[in-house]
Amino acid sequence: MASNLDGGSLDVQLPVQHCISVASTGKSWKIPANFIKETDGGKLWLQVRASCFGLCNVVTSEKLDPKARPSHKDSKGLQSLINMRFGPDDSVVLPVGDEGASVTCKACSKANDDLHLLYSEANMSVFFSYLQEVGISISAAGEGSKRSYSKTGQYSKNSAKALRVRMSRSKDKPRKESKTVLSLRTLNV
């Protein structure tokens, strides 16, 4: 361990910044540290999130506006990979090139889990080649397919309107007289 002029030890760290460069677009993506996951076996996995600006930017040669919040959610390639990861194997064969190639991804149990790919040069090459061959579709926030919502719960505009109608009808009817007894006490303290 090295020491400084005062005789104390220096704490030196050499952090690693992961970066993916795609030659066909001429762009690079500096991967945020929280997108790289390490397993107990020492394998590194890349978390692929459809709404990640860096991922959207690196796969297209067009200039993207980060304020538009671009997303890959409508890309056929990414959606097919997400649907294929439910198999028992970690390896998915993709139709890349003439013979096809396999990409290693983590299997998952929930449909809304992010895609996790083995972080290796060969695996990333297959993944990006597949995305480019199948076609990349980048949409801005609010464009493309939207979530479908269903009415849940008992309160809605219609039920509020029905409640107002019932209340107005009850005002029209004569009320029964009721005797209300109030009890007032004075306490001496």
Instruction: Note the pLDDT tens digit of each residue in 41-60.
Output: 888 999 998 888 999 889 88
Question: What is the band of 30 on the pLDDT scale with cuts at 50, 70, 90?
Answer: very high
Pairwise CA distance, residues 53 & 29, whole Å: 9
CB atoms closer than 10 angstroms to residue 123: 19
Output the pTM of the full model. 0.64
CB atoms closer than 10 angstroms to residue 45: 19
Instruction: Note the pLDDT tens digit of each residue in 45-102.
Output: 999 988 889 998 898 888 888 888 888 888 888 888 877 776 665 777 777 766 678 8
- Whether the Cβ atoms of residue 60 and residue 136 lie closer than 8 Å to each other: yes
- Whether the Cβ atoms of residue 101 and residue 94 lie closer than 8 Å to each other: yes
* pLDDT for residue 19: 92
Which among 140, 137, 136 has a CA at the least distance from the CA of 24?
136
Pairwise CA distance, residues 64 & 57, whole Å: 6
